[in-house]
Structure 1
Amino acid sequence: MVVLDIEEMGPVINRLRRAQGQIGGVIRLIEEGRDCKDVVTQLAAASRALDRAGFAIVATGLEQCLTAPEGVDPADREAMEKLFLTLA
């Protein structure tokens, strides 16, 4: 099983906090009746931030699989592949 190291997840957490703020911005824009372009632009930025966070998590998991001294467990390999494809 691949377990995330909290110390390596600092940049991911920052990215997720940024996405959280962007989603709050989207809600405010909609509540204020702002232009569609502004809403979609902000929503796209939040989506990109979430995608990047997801890929960073998968990359960390893959790195752990590749550097494991006991080798790669086939179940872990399959799980990481499924996670990657979920984001693709």
Structure 2
Amino acid sequence: MSLLIWIIVGALAGWIAGLVVSGRGFGLIGDIIVGIVGAIVAGWLFPRLGVSLGAGVISTIFSSAAGAIIVLVVIKLLRRV
């Protein structure tokens, strides 16, 4: 059940990040991957910065989306170089 929740949260977070950064999503698999990577980045970075978006599924989706946005922006910057 936990894996299914990771996939759903990853898909939603990746889709939100895709809309914010590029104006569109990356397809179902791409959104899931971007969202899960974003969740990992947010889970590592936010506690070190003292950022907490609360508890629960909604805050998890938003923090994962924020992490995914960070990942996508870094990728865009690296592609320019």
Normalised TM-score (structure 1): 0.32
Higher radius of gyration, 1 or 2: 1
Normalised TM-score (structure 2): 0.35
In terms of fraction of residues, the more helix-rich structure is: 2
